[in-house]
Chain A
């Protein structure tokens, strides 16, 4: 990015925050509904020092990571098999695409009925969020491996393992990482939603509680924190994505 563009973007963000602070100081906004950024920053500092908040945050993080750790490998394996086996892909991919087009939030009450309100329910809800998008991308990645490259490797005497390692893996990597990035974001959405809907702990339920009790400074502080964390995760995954796919971005416009 050009430095000038970056400066302009940063100035815009700073300007918004400045206007917000200024508006509160001159009394243009209702401070109980919209506390100034300085107060939100203070609340954020307090939250980060509160062991209760950190316990809730770690509960959420554990749920997100567990759902990803279970859902992503299974989705990669099934997606790959769907890409390799035409019949399997034909029968499953329309179902997967339909599931992806339905807002998964509407299934939450059913999940609660089936699995109760504990860790299991949130874990499974998170897994369903990870699974489909990762599987569909893995399938597309496997299908996209050019047949000619496989034939080429075979003609030079490559065995199955070598073909997977030297052709499939690099050819599939960019789209796999895209799937994983989306899966992780969907995962976070799913877990927070499940926590906000009904939970004893976690960041989601805190947001809900603070909203209902007009603890707006804490609410805003947590919202800002979660936003920054997800932006950071997304950006890290995007960097990874462009690293493994550097050859692709360069090669494709031709």
Chain B
């Protein structure tokens, strides 16, 4: 992943300060990084380090206090739904809409024609392997299936970039592993750029080309790990020596930075 591919995301000295006044809280400090086109980048860090805030800033949902974000070279100030889709930890499917209608929702917002919407949504539904479930309601699906629908919905408007905020965090371990495989398959099939947030070091290394390591108080990037692990990946890779070495490096970056909070920060290995 060292070849010079164009940069799709450039974060330049992002800073986020809450509660301007007597006791301002610095949530993010001096965050700078780049994401190459078509790459899979994970952001890992302890809970409460500002990962989600960073994602909301990248999505244009929340303004940064200072610094700027360039998406495909252009400064971004508000949500750019043509280029970016966001996936949240909770699948946030609309419970009154059928699965297929949920996938159509971003296209509906954009005023696409009904037939075109339906066709695109059906294609996305088969991509995530749920072709037969379009007429169901979200509550009829399992947690993993709901996240697949959420992926299909994020892909429906054909964005360049997927921002994912711990999308599999609420799933059980087995489903989570399966969903990781699924996501890698969809990623290689669609060629999207994925920016993925997790607090699991294993998940981060398994999925990504590059791991951005964040620490908290204030939230900042303490290291960038280019794992260089081969693709395509199977679950066996997690037991390999290279994988273990890379995981240790990340763990050290997090715990060296702040020994006393490393334990309470809930980074899962």
- Distance, CA A153 to CA B93, complexed state (A): 11
Q: A156-B81, A166-B108, A170-B96 are in contact. Are A151 and B138 (CB under 8 A)?
A: no
Could you tell me which residues of chain B, from 101 to 132, have a CB within 8 Å of some CB in chain A? 105-106, 108-110
CB of B157 within 8 Å of the partner chain: yes
B109 touches A153 (CB 8 A): yes
Give Cα A251 to B106, complex, Å.
Answer: 22
Partner of B139, one of A146, A153, A251: A251
Contact A151 B88 (CB under 8 A): yes
Q: Is the CB of B61 within 8 A of A148?
A: no
Task: State in angstroms the CA–CA spacing of A158 and B107 once bound together.
Answer: 10
Interface residues of A in 135-189 (CB under 8 A from B): 146, 148-149, 151-158, 162, 166-167, 170-171
Task: Tell me if B263 counts as interface (CB < 8 A to partner A).
Answer: no
- Name B18-42 residues within 8 Å CB distance of A: none
Q: Name which of A154, A156, A162, A167 has the most chain B CB atoms within 10 A of its CB.
A: A156
Q: Is the Cβ of B94 less than 8 Å from the Cβ of A170?
A: yes
CB-based nearest B residue for A170: B96
**Contact present for B86 and A157 (CB under 8 Å):** no
Instruction: Output the nearest chain A residue to B89 by Cβ-Cβ distance.
Output: A148
Decide if B85 touches A155 in the complex (CB within 8 Å): yes
Query: Is A2 part of the contact surface with B, judged by Cβ < 8 Å?
Result: no
Instruction: Tell me whether B137 and A250 are in contact (CB under 8 A).
Output: yes
B105 and A148: CB pair below 8 A? no
B60 contacts which chain A residues (CB < 8 A)? 155
B79 at the interface (CB under 8 A from A): yes
B32-67 contacts to A, CB under 8 A, are: 59-61
Residues of B within 8 A of A148 (CB): 88, 90, 92
A-B contact pairs, 25 of them (CB 8 A): A148-B88, A149-B94, A151-B88, A151-B92, A152-B88, A154-B79, A155-B59, A155-B61, A155-B79, A155-B81, A155-B84, A156-B79, A156-B105, A156-B106, A156-B109, A156-B157, A157-B81, A166-B105, A167-B94, A170-B94, A247-B95, A247-B139, A250-B139, A251-B95, A251-B139
Least CB distance, B122 to chain A, in whole angstroms: 19
**Which residues on the B side are within 8 Å of A4 (C-beta)?**
none
Distance in Å: Cβ of A102 to nearest Cβ of chain B: 36
Is A248 an interface residue when CB atoms closer than 8 A count as contact?
A: yes
- Nearest Cβ in chain B — how far from A84, in angstroms? 18
Residues in A whose Cβ lies below 8 Å from that of B61: 151, 154-155
**A166 vs B92: C-alpha distance in the bound complex, in angstroms?**
14
Contact residues in A for B80 (Cβ distance below 8 Å): 157
Q: A148-B92, A251-B137 are in contact. Are A162 and B109 (CB under 8 A)?
A: yes
A167 to B86, CA, bound (A): 17
Apart from A166-B108, A247-B139, A254-B139, what are 19 other A-B pairs with CB-CB below 8 Å? Answer: A149-B92, A152-B86, A153-B105, A153-B109, A154-B79, A155-B85, A156-B85, A156-B109, A156-B157, A157-B80, A157-B82, A162-B109, A166-B105, A166-B109, A167-B94, A248-B96, A250-B139, A251-B95, A251-B137
* Chain B residue at minimal CB-CB distance from A163: B109
CB contacts (< 8 Å) of B86 on chain A: these are 152, 155
* A-facing residues in B146-187 (Cβ within 8 Å): 157
Contact B92 A158 (CB under 8 A): no
Residues of chain B with a CB closer than 8 A to A162's CB: 109
Q: How far is the CB of A247 from chain B (nearest CB, A)?
A: 4
